[in-house]
Amino acid sequence: MESQKTIKHIFQEYISKSTPIFKNREVLTSEFIPETIQHRNKEINTIASILAPSLKGGRPSNIFIYGLTGTGKTLVSKHITDELEKISKQGNYPIKVLYVNCKMKKISDTEYRLMAELCRLLGYELPATGLPTDYIYQTFFNALDSEKRIVIIILDEIDALVEKIGDEFLYNLTRINQELKNSKISIIGITNDLHFIEILDPRVKSSLREEEVLFFPYNATQLHDILKHRSYYAFYDNVLSDEVIPKCAALAAQEHGDARRALDLLRVAGEIAERMNDDKVTEKHVDLAQEKIDYDRVIESTKSLPKQTKVVLWSILELSNEKNDDIQTGEVYDIYQRKCKEIGLFPLTQRRISDLISELDMTGIINAKVTSLGRYGRTRVIMLNLNESVKEKVKAILNESLVI
Ligand SMILES: Nc1ncnc2c1ncn2[C@@H]1O[C@H](COP(=O)(O)OP(=O)(O)O)[C@@H](O)[C@H]1O
Ligand SMILES: [Mg+2]
């Protein structure tokens, strides 16, 4: 009974609150598609010009789009190809766009799944497993060629796909045009990984990169404009204090100009203000939002670490009880081996552990710097990058999953 009263109380308080914060919170979520895209005219013009020949039945060049996260690559690509598809409906040259987010597990675990997804997008449902790959390619080929048209395949976060299934499928896809009679395909590959292209087979590299477009990070002013525009739809009038948008923009600009981060900061700041029952969103809420987002990110990445890497992190945490910023790979390895024994895990070599430490460095949970030991060679000095409360939480997660 008591708890029911409280729930009722919370809801009533929410409804009767005199100054609600959000007019429409959805506008600040990553699913929301804004109707105007700011500060990307150059990129939009370039990509649109490359794709335009498809409106007269010509095969556009393949495009490789790259740039750091949150620079608008997905938004811009979807926006242009949506328009293209719409305009093609008014003319005589059909265009079909197939968008695949390669980060989605069910789609890009295997070549089979990817091809099945492409078939599905063309209207051919196939069973989730079991058919020979040749058969799937044949189905895809027939589906493509069943109509006279240009098919544009967007492989977003293509690096995730290549990491799992190699780049052979890309070779196959780029060659398929030579055999198609009615249709032609063109590929748009998108990645956040600036070094991705270097790992591709040279033949694949040159065909995927017929054209390439780099998305630069946004600067603080540009992020400011993006936030300003969204906030108009997201918040009630006069709810945001003047310093809020500049602060979110500045923080996200420091973080490599990531528009997603900027929008997240603004949204979470609003949520926190709402939960604290404050009438205005202020700088204080942005600081809290920043803390919360960082916290969530560390927790999420800790949970998703592979088991071996978890043991490595666990060992670093153990060492950090004694010293904070001078942990060496050799020491980590000793504790790592002991822990593996304890939980019945086969220990990897010290060299592999060194690689795993580099991977942890990339998550931002630790800092690992290579330093010289003079004539004794080089070593890596590891520093834990977590404050006490986060550290405790990370430890708890690791302890929970590192058992026999
Ligand atoms: N120029 C822009 N104008 C408005 N919103 C943008 C702009 N660029 C990015 N966004 C928004 O920022 C978020 C991240 O953009 P996204 O296209 O997903 O980045 P990327 O694919 O490069 O990681 C999305 O919510 C998107 O709507
Ligand atoms: Mg993207």
d(Cα 384, Cα 304) in Å, to the nearest integer?
18
Which among 245, 260, 263, 266 is the best mutation to test ligand 1's pocket, defined by most ligand atoms within 8 Å of the CB?
Answer: 260
- Nearest ligand for residue 78 CA: 1
Neighbours of 326 (CB within 10 A): 12
- Nearest ligand for residue 260 CA: 1
The angle at the Cα of 302, spanning 394 to 223, to the nearest 5 degrees, equals: 110
CA 280 to ligand 1 center in whole angstroms: 26
Q: Are strands 327-328 and 378-384 parallel, antiparallel or unpaired?
A: antiparallel
The whole-number mean pLDDT for each consecutive block of 10 residues of the chain, a chain of 404 residues, reads 72 71 93 93 97 96 97 97 96 96 86 93 90 92 95 96 91 93 97 92 94 97 97 95 98 93 97 93 97 93 94 95 82 96 95 92 87 74 87 94 88
Q: What Cα–Cα distance (Å) separates residue 34 from each residue in 30, 179, 223, 304, 383?
A: 10, 39, 14, 31, 41
d(Cα 13, Cα 236) in Å, to the nearest integer?
18
Q: Which atom of ligand 1 is nearest to the CA of 215?
A: 22
Residue nearest to atom 16 of ligand 1 (CA): 72
d(Cα 266, Cα 188) in Å, to the nearest integer?
31
CA 75 to ligand 2 center in whole angstroms: 7
d(Cα 85, Cα 54) in Å, to the nearest integer?
10
**Contact of 19 with 274, CB cutoff 8 Å:** no
Residue with tokens 């500060």: 39
Q: Residue 17: what pLDDT?
A: 64
Which among 75, 77, 78 is the best mutation to test ligand 1's pocket, defined by most ligand atoms within 8 Å of the CB?
Answer: 75
CA 47 to ligand 2 center in whole angstroms: 16
d(Cα 72, Cα 218) in Å, to the nearest integer?
9
Q: Residue 374: what pLDDT?
A: 73
List, in order of start, the domains of the chain with CATH numbers: 41-215 (3.40.50.300), 218-301 (1.10.8.60), 305-401 (1.10.10.10)
Q: Is 278 exposed, middle or buried (0-12, 13-18, 19+ CB in 10 A)?
A: middle
Q: Which atom of ligand 1 is nearest to the CA of 72?
A: 17
CA 260 to ligand 1 center in whole angstroms: 6
Strand partners, 367: 383
Q: What does the block give as tokens for 361? A: 């460095």
Nearest CA to 191 among 224, 231, 163, 227?
Answer: 163
d(Cα 33, Cα 312) in Å, to the nearest integer?
40
Using N-to-C axis directions, what is the helix angle for 220-234 and 259-275, rounded to 10°? 40
Residues with a CB atom less than 6 Å from ligand 1: 30, 34, 37-40, 67, 69-75, 192, 226, 259-260, 263
Residues 6+ apart with CB under 8 A from 230: 27, 28, 34, 263, 266
Q: What Cα–Cα distance (Å) separates residue 17 from each residue in 12, 28, 98?
A: 8, 22, 45
Q: Are strands 150-156 and 366-372 parallel, antiparallel or unpaired?
A: unpaired
Q: Is 144 exposed, middle or buried (0-12, 13-18, 19+ CB in 10 A)?
A: buried
